[in-house]
């Protein structure tokens, strides 16, 4: 009996390790193809083979942490090198973040085991709803960290990612989880030598999901409207080293870099020029001499300029913002956007009374940054351009807000130098690409150290500049005007998944109580 249990446990752990490897390797930055369709097979095998719900949760947390480490190891670089806190602190931060995200996978494993215990194999058909609901929860719980969901494994496939305009990244995650569940149940039937028709019926949802992604992608790409009213845009990628950016003695040299890049972009006939996040490393509007220099660069370019810089607002006690500024073709300030979703511990310290010993990692202001209140729209050549800053682009609803306000072109200003030469810049770019597909809006992504890219409304990269280079990116985009189903409904699909799981578990509890009550009454008789 003990030997049997030991073998049972070894197979469960082996399945967990296979899931961790497949889950991580299928993500952007590694991009091993097809793994996203099958990674849930070993995960479900691990979960169902656990000796109990608690054991499944324990193994799920361990395997979830293991699966997360290859995806979030870059946190150690951000804290150790850019934050100057040392590698021991950086390594600890990466492990803690991976353990936190592993907790969601732990809940998924416990949920799969619980569904199987209560409904048998049929209960696992609820698992895709459960997994999708957990991803939505991760977007909002605590500080919110919607980084690298399962659906992002399709973002680099022009064909397979198009269905994101229906249910967002959550819809793609659901389809992939459905594929894994279907294949697991079909494989189980095959191993148990069930009837062929049972195995085929269980495999049918996986086949249907893949065919849907393929054919929907083909239709979506073919239905792209012909080029009309194009806008030629340009990006200035300064490639300024993070260690030099906030040294006041380098401010003029940095502006000279962007002046030269802006001139090259203007010579390429761009009608809109975008600089990265905090490309102007000073308080724009308050440092008069440097502010006049930026205005002059914009005026001489003769086209609208969007750039990032910190901003100080003296009203309401004085607040600091990570902001985007808009200069019209005359070099006159015509708009400002303040970042609405800040990076915890990067731009502000949450629960400061508890974490009083922490200092925020991002430079640019002596105090925590404050949160902006609303999206902004900048008119350019008949297009309505809406900016986001860095981390905001991983929150679909923030981008949706701008589209509902009338944005036809999306702009994302970021500084990915924090990530170093890791998988994170590729991950960040992949998530931004999916925002374009979800909303059917082109995206102009200006990154200080790369990867800067011009992305069309189908998520395709029109032009780009790689990591740690100084250069310009110029290309044509077509402003989008259609309103996708995802733009109309938001996270309704993800919320529906949570509701379905809630009622499924509620119904199962009611059935169990009824059965227990029935057995008690039968014993009395």
Do the beta carbons of residue 25 and residue 67 sit within 8 Å? no
Vertex 11: Cα angle to 9 and 17 (nearest 5): 105
Assign 463 to helix, strand or coil. strand
- Active-site residue (options: 339, 360, 497, 501): 339
Burial class (CB in 10 A: 0-12, 13-18, 19+), 354: exposed
Here the tokens at position 432 are 């931004």
3-state secondary structure (DSSP) of residue 323: strand
Q: How far apart are CA 433 and CA 410, in angstroms?
A: 11
CB-CB contact of 405 with 452 (8 Å): no
Order of strands, sheet of 378-380, starting from the edge strand that comes earlier in the sequence: 378-380, 383-389, 409-414, 443-447, 452-455, 461-465
Structure tokens at 378: 């900048």
Catalytic residue list contains 390: yes
Alpha carbons 236 and 472: distance in angstroms, whole number: 5
Contact 173, 149 (CB under 8 A): yes
Q: Which of 179, 390, 497, 501 is catalytic?
A: 390
106 with 53: CB under 8 angstroms? no
Whether 277 sits among the annotated catalytic residues: the reply is: yes
- Nearest CA to 415 among 291, 287, 310? 310
Contacts of 206 (CB under 8 A, 6+ apart): 37, 178, 179, 180, 182, 183, 186
3-state secondary structure of 388: strand
CB 316 within 8 A of CB 279: no
Strands (E), 466-525: 471-477
H or E element in which residue 359 lies = none
CA distance 132 to 486: 15
Nearest partner of 423 among 52, 94, 141, 167, judged by Cα: 94
8 Å CB contact between 453 and 463: yes
> ω before 451 within 30° of 0 (cis)?
yes
CA distances from 463 to 224, 275, 430, 459 (A): 19, 16, 15, 12
Alpha-carbon span 271 to 145, nearest angstrom: 35
Helices and strands per DSSP (H, E), number in the chain: 16, 12
Q: Which of 59, 277, 347, 465 is catalytic?
A: 277
Rg (CA), the chain: 25
Number of residues assigned to the chain: 525
Contact 74, 419 (CB under 8 A): yes
Give alpha helix (H) positions in 120-195: 127-140, 164-191
Contact 265, 235 (CB under 8 A): yes
**Which residues belong to the active site?**
277, 339, 390
């Amino acid at each position: 009996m003990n030997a049997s249990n030991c073998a049972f446990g070894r197979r469960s752990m082996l399945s967990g390790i296979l899931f961790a490897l497949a889950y991580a390797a299928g993500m952007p930055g590694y991009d091993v193809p097809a793994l996203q369709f099958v990674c849930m097979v070993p995960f479900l095998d691990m979960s169902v083979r656990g000796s109990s719900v608690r054991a499944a949760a324990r193994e799920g947390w361990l395997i979830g942490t293991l699966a997360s480490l290859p995806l979030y190891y870059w946190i150690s670089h951000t804290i150790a090198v850019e934050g100057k806190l040392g590698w021991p602190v950086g390594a600890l931060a990466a492990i803690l973040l991976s353990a936190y995200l592993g907790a969601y996978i732990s809940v998924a494993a416990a949920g799969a085991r619980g569904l199987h215990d209560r409904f048998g194999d049929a209960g696992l058909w609820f698992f895709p709803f459960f997994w999708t609901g957990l991803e939505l929860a991760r977007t909002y719980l605590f500080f919110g960290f919607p980084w690298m969901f399962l659906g992002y494994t399709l973002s680099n496939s022009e064909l397979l990612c198009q269905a994101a305009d229906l249910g967002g990244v959550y819809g793609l995650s659901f389809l992939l989880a459905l594929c894994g569940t279907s294949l697991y149940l079909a494989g189980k039937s095959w191993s148990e030598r069930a009837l062929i028709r049972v195995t085929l019926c269980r495999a049918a949802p996986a086949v249907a999901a893949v065919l849907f992604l393929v054919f929907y992608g083909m239709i979506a790409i073919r239905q792209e409207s012909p080029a009309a009213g194009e806008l030629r845009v340009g990006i200035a990628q300064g490639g300024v080293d993070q260690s030099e950016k906030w040294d006041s003695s380098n401010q003029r040299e940095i502006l000279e870099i962007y002046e030269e890049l802006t001139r090259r972009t203007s010579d390429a006939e761009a009608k809109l020029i975008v600089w990265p996040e905090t490309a102007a490393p000073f308080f724009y509007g308050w440092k008069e001499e440097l502010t006049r220099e930026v205005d002059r660069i914009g005026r001489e370019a003769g086209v609208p300029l969007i750039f990032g810089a910190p901003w100080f607002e003296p009203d309401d006690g004085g607040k600091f913002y990570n902001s985007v500024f808009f200069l019209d073709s005359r070099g006159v300030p015509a708009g400002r956007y303040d970042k609405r979703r800040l990076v915890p511990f990067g731009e502000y310290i949450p629960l400061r009374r508890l974490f009083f010993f922490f200092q925020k990692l991002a430079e640019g202001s002596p105090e925590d940054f404050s949160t902006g209140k609303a999206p902004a729209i900048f008119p350019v050549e008949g297009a309505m351009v809406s900016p986001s800053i860095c981390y905001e682009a991983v929150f679909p609803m923030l981008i949706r807000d701008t589209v509902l306000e009338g944005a036809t072109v999306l702009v994302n200003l970021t500084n990915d130098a924090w990530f170093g030469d890791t998988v994170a810049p590729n991950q960040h770019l992949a998530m931004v690409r999916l925002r374009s597909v979800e909303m059917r809006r082109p995206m102009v992504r200006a990154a200080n150290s790369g990867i800067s890219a011009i992305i069309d409304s189908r998520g395709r990269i029109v032009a780009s500049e790689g990591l740690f280079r100084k250069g310009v990116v110029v290309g044509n985009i077509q402003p989008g005007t259609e309103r996708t189903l995802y733009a109309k409904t938001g996270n309704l699909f993800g919320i529906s998944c949570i509701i379905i799981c809630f009622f499924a578990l509620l119904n199962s509890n009611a059935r169990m109580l009824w059965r227990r009550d029935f057995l008690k009454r039968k014993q009395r008789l």
